[in-house]
């Protein structure tokens, strides 16, 4: 009877190990990152020079280069009441774009609009 329980425990351990390995293999073949691999994101800051709503593209002029990002309905837009639908009205604004690279595409995760600070008021002189 004791050997029966040992075989059951060993069989369960082997089955569990095989199940976990199969789940990781499925995630890898589907292009999903394994749980221990967090997607790496980058940040770019500059002027939003153009928004292409047909192809869902953002064009950013940074101090070093011109960059292009793809956006979608999941792109979080901070500082615009209309979300991604309000992006065309933000052309000319200074923004910070958090993005991740997927193959040859830089996908915008979030776009934060930097609202200009009003100049300090100068007291009137008499």
Closest CA to 90 of 80, 75, 76, 78: 80
Taking only the tens place, the pLDDT of each residue in 33-47 is 554 455 688 999 999
Residue 112, strand partner residues? 78, 96
Residue 77 in any domain: the answer is: yes
Residues 94 and 57 reside in one and the same domain: yes
Q: What range defines the domain where residue 62 resides?
A: 42-114
Residues 56 and 5 reside in one and the same domain: no
Residues 19 and 46 reside in one and the same domain: no
- pTM for the model: 0.61
Q: What CA–CA distances, in Å, run from 114 to 90, 92, 119?
A: 10, 11, 15
Counted domains in the chain: 2
Residues 48 and 1 reside in one and the same domain: no
Q: Which two tokens stand for residue 41?
A: 């994101």
Residues 65 and 96 reside in one and the same domain: yes
Backbone angles phi, psi at 35, to 5 degrees: -60, -30
Residues 64 and 107 reside in one and the same domain: yes
Closest CA to 87 of 99, 72, 102: 72
Taking only the tens place, the pLDDT of each residue in 55-107 is 999 999 999 999 999 999 899 999 877 788 888 988 999 999 999 999 999 99
């Amino acid at each position: 009877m004791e050997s029966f329980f040992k075989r059951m425990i060993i069989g369960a351990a082997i089955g569990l190990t095989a199940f976990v390995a199969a789940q990781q293999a499925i995630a890898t073949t589907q292009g999903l990152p394994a749980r221990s691999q967090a997607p790496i994101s980058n940040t770019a800051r500059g002027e939003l020079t153009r928004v292409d709503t047909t192809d869902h593209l953002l064009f950013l002029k940074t101090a070093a280069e011109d960059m292009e990002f793809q956006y979608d309905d999941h792109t979080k837009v901070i500082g615009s009441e209309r979300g991604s639908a309000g992006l065309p009205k933000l052309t000319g604004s200074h923004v910070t774009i958090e993005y991740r690279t997927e193959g040859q595409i830089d996908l915008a995760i979030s776009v934060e609009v930097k609202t200009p600070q009003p100049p300090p008021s100068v007291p009137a002189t008499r």
